[in-house]
Amino acid sequence: MNRPLRLLVAAAAALLAAPLVPAQAAAAPGRAPSVTGAETSVPGPAAGPAGSWVRGSATATTSAERAQLRLNDLGCDAGPVDGRIGTHTRAALTRFQAANDLSQSGTLSQATRQRLYADQQVPCDRRPVVRSGTGRRVVISQHQNYVWLVDAKNRVVAEGGMVDNPGVLDAGRYAVGSACGRAAKIRMNSDLGGSLWLPYFTRFAPCGVGFHRVPVSKAGGTQIHPDWMLGTDLQESHGCIRLSRRLAARLWDFAGGGTRVVVR
């Protein structure tokens, strides 16, 4: 066999003896291929209308669920951990932003993410009282949509979110009491239209402004909106301060005639 032919046969034999190398597996649908051995990160989805998504992926859903879990851990009530940034979760984001002096956009902004996962943050349901003097008092923050009951030793005995109407109630100092010929406290007050109960009504400003539970339908016995809307601007009252049933009842017991009410 001549030399060129011998070289050709040897090359063919070496090729046949080499192990087969499998082709690189195709990337899973919806996921980018690995880069230098590590999977590229995928940012979370932008929120669309309530309960909907602009786009979605496994990574994005995990990101939303992580935020919901964190918000719930901080007492913000994000609702079910379902990976959807709907109205319930946006209300929780608003409460978190209000408690931590962030822009109240109700979105998972970059500043909100940073504070949410920081080493320290203010919980939604245990906040420092805004500047309001000393002594026994009820404190309202219109900016935070929040209420504190503070005893004579300056200890917070109860607190929680509210729904109000800053266009009706001005900042200032008030006191629980009767006004315009109306009683200071009415256990089951009624709205002007006669269709709603206003339980635990506690008056503190003329003529019809007071604290009460979220209005309850006389016909159906249900609240006109859920408690998770408290602490946000998703609802607006006619001027009164709407509270949860628990906080309204606690305030009813706490605030006797003459109790100071500070609105900030």
CATH assignment of the domain containing 65: 1.10.101
The total number of structural domains that make up the chain:
2
| Predicted confidence (pLDDT) at residue 192 exceeds the cutoff of 80 | yes
Domain boundary among 68, 83, 116: 116
Give me the helix-helix angle, 58-73 and 87-99, nearest 10°: 50
pTM: 0.77
Taking alpha carbons only, the member of 71, 132, 84, 114 closest to residue 263 is 132
Q: Quick one: tokens of 13?
A: 């034999």
Is residue 144 located within the same domain as residue 259? yes
- Assess contact for 157 and 149: CB atoms under 8 A: yes
Q: Domain for residue 256, yes or no?
A: yes
Q: Could you list the residue range(s) of the whole structural domain that residue 103 is in?
A: 58-116
In this prediction, residue 158 carries a pLDDT of: 98
| Predicted confidence (pLDDT) at residue 234 exceeds the cutoff of 50 | yes
Q: What does the pLDDT look like over 215-228, one tens digit per residue?
A: 999 999 999 999 99
* CA torsion angle 241 244 250 253 (round to 10): 50
In this prediction, residue 114 carries a pLDDT of: 97
Q: Domain for residue 25, yes or no?
A: no
Q: Domain for residue 9, yes or no?
A: no
Q: Domain for residue 42, yes or no?
A: no
Mean pLDDT of 27-46: 32
Q: Domain for residue 94, yes or no?
A: yes
Instruction: Pick 40 or 130 by higher pLDDT.
Output: 130
